[in-house]
């Protein structure tokens, strides 16, 4: 009985949560992709991750969308000595979400 009530309560909470806006959805997607591609093995975001490479926090102040895009799709052009993996096979839609999200970190 108690389990039933808890489930019902959870269902109500889920149903009453306001739908995510488009921007929130793409930010959530970007965060998921960043986690699944393992960017934080080298970079950090909001204190979580590694210090092998620059932190993503405030990266929107340093790099334009164009530069971010270039780093992620043709990074060899920016720095041929980099040990950052090549992500050029990641679908464009995923990269766009990441680039747009990183550009908002100011
Ligand atoms: C194996 C380590 C490693 C991983 C994993 C990695 N990077 Fe990097 N990244 C680097 C290094 C090293 C640099 C600095 C050298 C350079 O310019 O490539 C860098 C640079 C960058 C820059 C430019 C930063 C600046 O301040 O100029 C961005 C943006 C970036 N990485 C994004 C990402 C994203 C997004 C991911 C995941 C999809 C990722 N990186 C995964 C090592 C890594």
**Count of domains observed in the chain:** 1
- Ligand 1 mean position, distance from CA 21 (Å): 28
The pLDDT score that the predictor gives to residue 33 is: 97
CA distance 96 to 98: 5
Opening angle at CA 59, ends 101 and 51, nearest 5? 110
pLDDT of residue 43: 97
pTM for the structure as a whole = 0.84
Task: Report pLDDT digits (tens) over 7-60.
Answer: 777 666 677 777 888 889 999 999 999 999 999 999 999 999 999 999 999 999
Residue owning the nearest CA to atom 5 of ligand 1: 39
Distance CA 37, CA 86 (A): 11
Tell me if 70 sits within 8 A of 77, measured CB to CB. Answer: yes
Confirm or reject: Cβ of 37 under 6 Å from ligand 1. Answer: yes
**67, part of any domain:** yes
Identify whether the C-beta of residue 61 lies closer than 8 Å to the C-beta of residue 104: no
Instruction: Please indicate, yes or no, if residue 27 is contained in any of the structural domains.
Output: yes
pLDDT digits (tens, 9 = 90+) for 50-83: 999 999 999 999 999 999 998 888 765 666 777 8
Question: 45 with 55: CB under 8 angstroms?
Answer: yes
Residue 83 structural domain: 21-103
């Amino acid at each position: 009985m108690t389990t039933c009530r808890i489930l019902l309560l959870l269902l109500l909470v889920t149903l009453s949560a306001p739908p995510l806006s488009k921007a929130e959805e793409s930010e959530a997607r970007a965060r998921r992709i960043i986690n699944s591609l393992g960017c934080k093995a080298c970079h950090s975001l909001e204190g979580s991750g590694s210090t092998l490479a620059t932190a993503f926090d405030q990266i929107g102040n340093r790099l334009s969308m164009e530069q971010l895009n270039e780093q992620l799709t043709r990074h060899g052009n920016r720095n041929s000595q980099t040990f950052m993996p090549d992500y050029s096979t990641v679908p464009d839609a995923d990269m766009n979400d990441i680039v747009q999200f990183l550009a908002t970190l100011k």
